Amino acid sequence: MTYTGITLALSKGRIFEETLPLLAAAGITPSESPESSRKLIIGTNRDDVRLIIVRASDVPTYVQYGAADLGIAGKDVLNEHGGNGLYQPLDLQIAKCRMMVAVREGYDYAGMVKQGARIRVATKYVNAARDHFASKGVHIDLIKLYGSMELAPLVGLSDVIVDLVSSGGTLKANGLVAVEHIGDISSRLVVNQAALKLKRNLIQPVIDAFASAVAGDVPA
């Protein structure tokens, strides 16, 4: 608890991988990979910067409470969290995908919507789903899931799912089709507001380096 440097919260997998070039632009190199190491606190080449590895959906929580000074989280995750207490200075343009409504092949989604039928929606993204269908004036029953949403329409748990899609390969492999685009998703830098005030000398240069890397500036 006496760490005086800055702590950046990341999730394993695509966020960690796609953040490496941004870290490099800020002069930060992790000392090990979270994929091979089981450590949850990872040092870097700088003794004033460390990384913590948390579940993607937990990143905003660590930053909100100041357990991490900064973090990187998808817009999907931030939307579900609500963003309370988080400063979001940058869209990092990484981990890009689309939030979509998908159904089983052959399901007449447009027809059901037109009829004003009540639709069963299974998703991990309950806020996004609620907002989307409310804005269309469609009545839904929401079923909260934590993963593998593609299964739900196949076994009759739901009529539709709201899920993230990149190539569409997983939908296709399960006989599903995307029928509606809810929004584009990418990951954002999130910063604890109090930490920014107290440790601006350490945090601001990281924000600036990330910003120039995203803008495609050649590092000096």
Where do contacts with ligand ATP occur on this chain (CB under 6 A)?
11, 13-15, 55-57, 74, 76-77, 95-97, 147, 164, 166, 185, 187
Provide the minimum distance between the beta carbon of 85 and ligand ATP in the complex, in angstroms, as a whole number: 19
CA 199 to CA 195: how far, in whole Å? 6
Closer CB to ligand ATP, 56 or 195, in the complex: 56
Provide the minimum distance between the beta carbon of 48 and ligand ATP in the complex, in angstroms, as a whole number: 27
Provide the minimum distance between the beta carbon of 145 and ligand ATP in the complex, in angstroms, as a whole number: 11
Q: Within 10 Å of residue 197's Cβ, how many Cβ atoms?
A: 9
Provide the minimum distance between the beta carbon of 186 and ligand ATP in the complex, in angstroms, as a whole number: 7
CA 61 to CA 48: how far, in whole Å? 22
Which residues on neighbouring strands pair with residue 161, listed in sequence order? 102, 122
Question: Which single residue brings its beta carbon nearest to ligand ATP?
Answer: 74
CA 108 to CA 118: how far, in whole Å? 13
Closer CB to ligand ATP, 74 or 153, in the complex: 74
Question: How many Cα atoms within 13 Å fall on the side-chain side of residue 24?
Answer: 9
Closest CA to 44 of 8, 78, 4: 8
Closer CB to ligand ATP, 77 or 206, in the complex: 77
Provide the minimum distance between the beta carbon of 195 and ligand ATP in the complex, in angstroms, as a whole number: 22
- Geometric angle at alpha carbon 66, from 60 and 71, rounded to 5°: 40
Closer CB to ligand ATP, 96 or 199, in the complex: 96
